[in-house]
Amino acid sequence: MTTMSTPVGIVADTGSITTINPATGSELQTYPASGDAGIDAAIDASAAAQRCWATLDLAARGKVLASAAVVLRRRVQELAVLITREMGKPLNESRAEVEKCAWACEYYAEHAGDFLADEYVDAGGDRCWVSYEPVGLVLAVMPWNFPLWQVFRFAAPALMAGNGALLKHSPNTTGCALAVADVLAEAGAPDGLFAALIVPEPQVPATTARIIADPRIGAVTVTGSERAGVGVAVAAGQAIKKSVLELGGSDPFIVLADADLPRTAMLAAKARFLNAGQSCISAKRFIVEQPVADEFTRLFVDAVDKLVVGDPEADGVEVGPMARADLVDGIDRQVQQSVAAGATVLTGGHRLDRPGNYYAPTVLGNVKPGMPAYDQETFGPVAAVIPVADVDEAVRVANDTEFGLAGSVWTATPEKGVAVGKRITSGALFINAVVASDVRMPFGGTKRSGYGRELAQAGIREFVNTRTYVLNNEPPAQAPTSE
């Protein structure tokens, strides 16, 4: 795993992390790092708690998860303010995130019994079945952009499956990491079952590899950048541990000529600029059939211009700051390089002259291959509009990316949308709907967007040992003639 420098917006040394408010640049709080001894103690405590937790029936585990949902809703305002102050999203989005976490806890408390029930098979023995059993401890390396939701969407199924959980969160959302541990403790989780590890960025590669190598770690899950995913996947492969990777995306938003343009353009603006565009599954490349390209672009730019940018704690604000100053540098570099290569700025295209990490919601036209806005993931408030001649070209452009997380098709003919969507490589495909994760549906990508699935039945079964049982009431008269 390669060494990573400390991002701007986090004050870190080998002994502590100080979080920064991206809306103001002011320091929030300093947290002491866990250190090797603290991490070893956390693993010991989690392993001990997990052994007892795994002996409980699903009803007992479900009681704790259902209680966590109650705690989350009772503390929604406090937690939403923490999210907003650590990473900058508007308060209404933060409140919605907390509610989604509560929903995930309730969902798995209710449905884990069905997802993990023994499955009996007629396979020749007197009794044969498949059982879904805990793997031990699950290590999660999580990002800052949905700092509670992305933790609970792994933790709820992992814990209900009987596992313990260790979290290495992004340093700039350290307060959120500790808040998750506090919520679960208040809900009645055994001491140490879920542990948040505070690791300064320079120490992350070596520390993560060391944790993965521990024999008590049964699996690792990562949501984040390609670099983070590759590093963790290498360490997991060396230790022969299962891994789930949810990485970047450059999702296509395909507008066919028969789409409802006013409604589609309005939803396109919401799809791209939620969380200041800092979402792996947000639409990034707006691929529009030529006959409606000018009108869609006009409506889209108008909708983007109406977005309210400002203090994320103020009422009515729709777009807050980016999470860190270095992220603003990165998105501006992608925009300027695209413009230098021939892209046109239809709106935005610059930093905002105010304190904090603000970048103007931006729409680029005339985007072509070879430009960062076409070739790379733009993880910020930037949209690329790409007119195409017809459906065949739309499909070609949609697939002309290393990523394959999700995509959407917009049309007045749903069956046509499905047919077009089936030609696109992605982990999810939405017709006339904004892409979003849902606890009832599997979530994950293809290509360089990762592998494995979170959520629904598929998600909980990522963190289990699928075990085969064959029982005969007495030994057979002869052995099998093949293995």
Strands (E), 122-204: 127-134, 137-141, 164-168, 194-197
pTM, whole model, 2 decimals?
Answer: 0.95
Measured CA to CA in angstroms, residue 223 lies from 24, 131, 139, 456 at distances of: 27, 28, 12, 17
**Count of beta carbons in the 10 Å neighbourhood of residue 59:** 10
What pLDDT shows up at residue 124? 87
Write the DSSP assignment of 246-282 as a string of letters.
Answer: E----EEEEE-TTS-HHHHHHHHHHHHHGGGG--TTS
Strands (E), 117-258: 119-120, 127-134, 137-141, 164-168, 194-197, 217-223, 242-246, 251-255
Q: Are 246 and 450 in contact (CB under 8 A)?
A: yes
Q: Are 120 and 129 in contact (CB under 8 A)?
A: yes
Residue 229's nearest CA partner among 248, 204, 202, 203 is 248
Residue by residue, pLDDT tens for the chain (483 residues) are: 333 333 333 434 468 999 999 999 999 999 999 999 999 999 999 999 999 999 999 999 999 999 999 999 999 999 999 999 999 999 999 999 999 999 999 999 999 999 999 999 999 899 999 999 999 999 999 999 999 999 999 999 999 999 999 999 999 999 999 999 999 999 999 999 999 999 999 999 999 999 999 999 999 999 999 999 999 999 999 999 999 999 999 999 999 999 999 999 999 999 999 999 999 999 999 999 999 999 999 999 999 999 999 999 999 999 999 999 999 999 999 999 999 999 999 999 999 999 999 999 999 999 999 999 999 999 999 999 999 999 999 999 999 999 999 999 999 999 999 999 999 999 999 999 999 999 999 999 999 999 999 999 999 999 999 999 999 999 999 999 999
246 in active site: yes
**Cα separation, 455 vs 64, whole angstroms:** 19
Q: Which two tokens stand for residue 468?
A: 């085969």
**Cα separation, 440 vs 431, whole angstroms:** 17
Catalytic residue, chosen from 86, 93, 97, 246, is 246
Q: Are 309 and 361 in contact (CB under 8 A)?
A: yes
Hey, what's the torsion of the CAs at 183, 84, 443, 274, to 10 degrees? 160
What pLDDT shows up at residue 1? 32
Q: Which domains does the chain show, CATH number per domain?
A: 10-247+449-468 (3.40.605.10), 251-431 (3.40.309.10)
Catalytic residue, chosen from 101, 105, 176, 280, is 280
What pLDDT shows up at residue 14? 65
Burial 388-404 (b: 16+ CB within 10 A, else e): beebeebbebbeebebb
280 in active site: yes
